[in-house]
Amino acid sequence: MHYELKIMKPIISLSPHVHGGDSVQKNMYGVCIALVPALIASLYFFGLGSAIVLATSVAACVFFEWAITRFILGRERLTICDGSAVLTGLLLGFNLPSNLPIWIIIIGALVAIGIGKLTFGGLGCNPFNPALVGRVFLLISFPVQMTSWPLSGQMGYVDAETGATPLALMKQAIKEGDASYLDQLPSAFDMLIGQTGGSLGEVSALCLLIGCCYMLWKKIITWHIPVSILCTVFVLAGLFHLIDPSYANPVQVILSGGLMLGACFMATDYVTSPMTGKGQLIYGCAIGVLTILIRDFGSYPEGMSFAILIMNGFTPLINTYVKPKRFGEVKK
Amino acid sequence: MNVILIAVIVLGSIGLVAALILFLAAKKFAVHEDERIGQVAEVLPQANCGGCGFPGCSGFAGACVKAADKGSLDGLLCPVGGQPVMEKVADILGMKAEASAPKVAVVRCNGTCESRPRIAEFDGAQSCRVQNMLGSGETACAFGCLGCGDCVAACQFDAIHMNPETGLPEVDEEKCTACGACSKACPRGVIEIRLKGLKNRRVVVLCNNKDKGAQTRKACSVGCIACQKCVKVCKFEAITVDANLAYIDAEKCKLCRKCEEECPQNAIHAFNFPPRKPKVENVEPAKEQEA
Amino acid sequence: MKTFHIGGVHPAENKLSAAEPIRVAGLPKQAVFSMFQHIGAPAVPVVKKGDEVKVGTLLGEAGKGLSVPVFSSVSGKVSKVDAVLDSSGTRRMAVVVDVEGDEWEERIDRSDKLVTMKDLGGITAEEVVNRIKAAGIVGMGGATFPTGVKLMPPPGTKAEAIIVNAVECEPYLTADHRLMLEKPEQILVGIQLIKHAVNCPKAYIGIEMNKPDAIKLLTNLLKEKAAQYPGIEVVPLKVKYPQGGEKQLIDAVIGRQVPAPPALPINVGAIVQNVGTVYAIYEAVTKNKPLIERIITVTGKSVKQPSNFLARIGTSMQQLIDEAGGLPEDTGKIIGGGPMMGRALMSLEVPVTKGSSGLLLMTEKESRRGEVSPCIRCAKCVSACPMGLEPYLLASYTRLKDWDGCEKNDVTSCIECGSCAFTCPSNRPLLDNIRVAKQTVMGIIKARHMESIAKK
pLDDT, tens digit, for every residue of A8-20?
788 999 989 999 9
| Of the partner residues B129, B134, B212, the one whose CB lies closest to the CB of residue C344 | B134
Reply yes or no: is the peptide bond before residue C242 cis, omega within 30 of 0. yes
Contact C433 B211 (CB under 8 A): no
The domain boundary, picked from A146, A162, A177, lies at A146
Contact A12 B118 (CB under 8 A): no
Q: What is the CA radius of gyration of chain A?
A: 22
Mean pLDDT of A179-191: 78
Cβ atoms of residues A302 and A97 within 8 Å: no
The domain boundary, picked from C341, C365, C389, lies at C365
| Percentage with pLDDT > 70 across chain C | 100
The domain boundary, picked from A117, A146, A175, lies at A146
- B51 shares a domain with B192: no
The domain boundary, picked from B93, B114, B141, lies at B93
Neighbours of chain B (3+ CB pairs under 8 A): A, C
Per-residue pLDDT, A232 = 95
**DSSP characters over A232-250:** HHHHHHHHHHHH-TTSPPH
Residues in A closer than 8 angstroms to C345, CB to CB, are: 10, 12
Q: What is the domain range of residue A95?
A: 26-146
A36 is a domain residue: yes
- C432 shares a domain with C304: no
- B167 shares a domain with B84: no
Res. C69: pLDDT tops 70: yes
| Of the partner residues A1, A17, A330, the one whose CB lies closest to the CB of residue C333 | A17
Per-residue pLDDT, C120 = 82
A11 is a domain residue: no
- C264 shares a domain with C131: yes
- C156 shares a domain with C127: yes
Q: What is the domain range of residue B76?
A: 36-93
The domain boundary, picked from C342, C365, C388, lies at C365
Cβ atoms of residues C143 and C416 within 8 Å: no
B23 is a domain residue: no
Res. C209: pLDDT tops 50: yes
Global pTM reads 0.87
Q: What are the start-end ranges of the E strands in A119-194?
A: none
Nearest CA of chain A to the CA of C99: how many Å? Answer: 19
Res. C208: pLDDT tops 90: yes
- B135 shares a domain with B160: yes
- B139 shares a domain with B85: no
How would you classify the pairing of strands C331-336 and C343-345? antiparallel
A227 is a domain residue: yes
Total domains present in chain A: 2
- C390 shares a domain with C254: no
Mean pLDDT of A198-207: 83
In A69-105, which positions are buried (b, 16+ CB within 10 angstroms) versus exposed (e)? beeeeeeeeebbebbbbbbbbbbbbbbbbbbbeeebb
**DSSP characters over C204-215:** EEEEETT-HHHH
More confident residue, B287 or A122: A122
Cβ atoms of residues C211 and C201 within 8 Å: no
Contact C339 A15 (CB under 8 A): yes
- C236 shares a domain with C197: yes
The domain boundary, picked from A123, A146, A169, lies at A146
Mind spelling out the 3-state secondary structure of A106-139?
Answer: HHHHHHHHHHCCHHHCCCCCCCCCHHHHHHHHHH
Res. A60: pLDDT tops 60: yes
Contact B121 A12 (CB under 8 A): yes
- C271 shares a domain with C158: yes
Alpha helices in C32-123 (DSSP H): 117-120
| Percentage with pLDDT > 90 across chain A | 51
B260 is a domain residue: yes
Mean pLDDT of chain B: 84
A9 is a domain residue: no
Neighbours of chain A (3+ CB pairs under 8 A): B, C
B40 is a domain residue: yes
- For B118, the closest chain A residue by CA position comes to A9
Contact C439 B129 (CB under 8 A): yes
A234 is a domain residue: yes
> What distance in Å separates the CA atoms of residue A280 and residue A269, rounded to the nearest whole number?
11
> What distance in Å separates the CA atoms of residue B91 and residue C407, rounded to the nearest whole number?
40
- A228 shares a domain with A131: no
Res. A331: pLDDT tops 70: no
- C141 shares a domain with C252: yes
Total domains present in chain C: 3
A180 is a domain residue: no
Which bin fits C269, alpha (ψ -120 to 50), beta or left (φ > 0)?
left
B15 is a domain residue: no
C208 is a domain residue: yes
Contact A328 C427 (CB under 8 A): no
- B253 shares a domain with B115: yes
Cβ atoms of residues C304 and C151 within 8 Å: no
Decide: residue B285, CB within 10 A, 0-12 exposed, 13-18 middle, 19+ buried. Answer: middle
| Of the partner residues C341, C413, C423, the one whose CB lies closest to the CB of residue A15 | C341
B148 is a domain residue: yes
Q: CA torsion C75→C77→C78→C79, rounded to 10°?
A: -130
Residues in A closer than 8 angstroms to B130, CB to CB, are: 14
Q: What are the start-end ranges of the E strands in C288-357?
A: 293-299, 307-312, 331-336, 343-345
Within 10 angstroms of residue B200's Cβ, the number of other Cβ atoms is: 12
> What distance in Å separates the CA atoms of residue B107 and residue A190, rounded to the nearest whole number?
75
Nearest CA of chain C to the CA of A272: how many Å? Answer: 8
- C413 shares a domain with C387: yes
A174 is a domain residue: no
| Of the partner residues A17, A125, A325, the one whose CB lies closest to the CB of residue C339 | A17
- B277 shares a domain with B140: yes
- A308 shares a domain with A214: yes
At CA A263, angle to CA A257 and CA A268, rounded to 5? Answer: 145
* CA-to-CA separations, A265 to A79, A220, A221, C15, in angstroms, rounded: 21, 11, 9, 39
Total domains present in chain B: 2
B129 in contact with C, Cβ within 8 Å? yes
Contact C332 A10 (CB under 8 A): yes
Mean pLDDT of B48-55: 75
The angle that helices A304-321 and A277-297 make with each other, rounded to 10 degrees, is 150
> What distance in Å separates the CA atoms of residue C91 and residue C84, rounded to the nearest whole number?
5
Residue in C377, C414, C424 to test binding to A, most A beta-carbons within 10 Å: C377
- B236 shares a domain with B152: yes
3-class secondary-structure state, position A88 = helix
* CA-to-CA separations, C142 to B113, C138, C168, C278, C310, in angstroms, rounded: 35, 9, 11, 14, 16
- C280 shares a domain with C299: no
The DSSP bridge partners found for residue C44 are C61
Give me the sign of the Cα torsion angle A147, A148, A154, A159: negative
- C280 shares a domain with C156: yes
Q: How many residues does chain A have?
A: 332
Q: What is the CATH number of the domain that holds C82?
A: 3.10.20.600
Q: What is the CATH number of the domain that holds B164?
A: 3.30.70.20
- C405 shares a domain with C360: no
Residues in A closer than 8 angstroms to B138, CB to CB, are: 12
Nearest CA of chain A to the CA of C425: how many Å? Answer: 4
Q: What is the CATH number of the domain that holds B40?
A: 1.10.15
| Of the partner residues B121, B134, B138, the one whose CB lies closest to the CB of residue A14 | B134
- B150 shares a domain with B125: yes
| Of the partner residues B118, B119, B122, the one whose CB lies closest to the CB of residue A13 | B122
Neighbours of chain C (3+ CB pairs under 8 A): A, B
**Band (C188; pLDDT cuts 50, 70, 90):** very high
C448 is a domain residue: yes
Cβ atoms of residues C233 and C260 within 8 Å: no
The domain boundary, picked from C242, C259, C287, lies at C287
Mean pLDDT of B201-221: 89
A218 is a domain residue: yes
Amino acid letter for position A141: S
Residues in A closer than 8 angstroms to B119, CB to CB, are: 6, 9
Per-residue pLDDT, A159 = 56
Q: What is the domain range of residue C218?
A: 117-287
- B190 shares a domain with B70: no
The domain boundary, picked from B58, B93, B128, lies at B93
3-class secondary-structure state, position A166 = helix
Nearest CA of chain B to the CA of C7: how many Å? Answer: 24
Residues in B closer than 8 angstroms to A13, CB to CB, are: 122-124, 134
**Band (A235; pLDDT cuts 50, 70, 90):** very high
- B255 shares a domain with B171: yes
C252 is a domain residue: yes
- A135 shares a domain with A44: yes
Per-residue pLDDT, A5 = 45
Nearest CA of chain A to the CA of C394: how many Å? Answer: 13
Contact B138 A12 (CB under 8 A): yes
Cβ atoms of residues C393 and A232 within 8 Å: no
- B163 shares a domain with B116: yes
* CA-to-CA separations, B54 to B77, B189, C286, in angstroms, rounded: 11, 20, 60
Cβ atoms of residues C147 and C138 within 8 Å: yes
- A213 shares a domain with A279: yes
B69 is a domain residue: yes
> What distance in Å separates the CA atoms of residue A78 and residue A66, rounded to the nearest whole number?
7
- C162 shares a domain with C265: yes
- A221 shares a domain with A122: no
Which helix (H) or strand (E) covers residue A207, if one does? helix A205-217
Contacts of B245 (CB under 8 A, 6+ apart): B205, B207, B208, B209, B210, B224, B226
The domain boundary, picked from B51, B71, B93, lies at B93
Contacts of B131 (CB under 8 A, 6+ apart): B122, B124, B137, B138, B146, B148
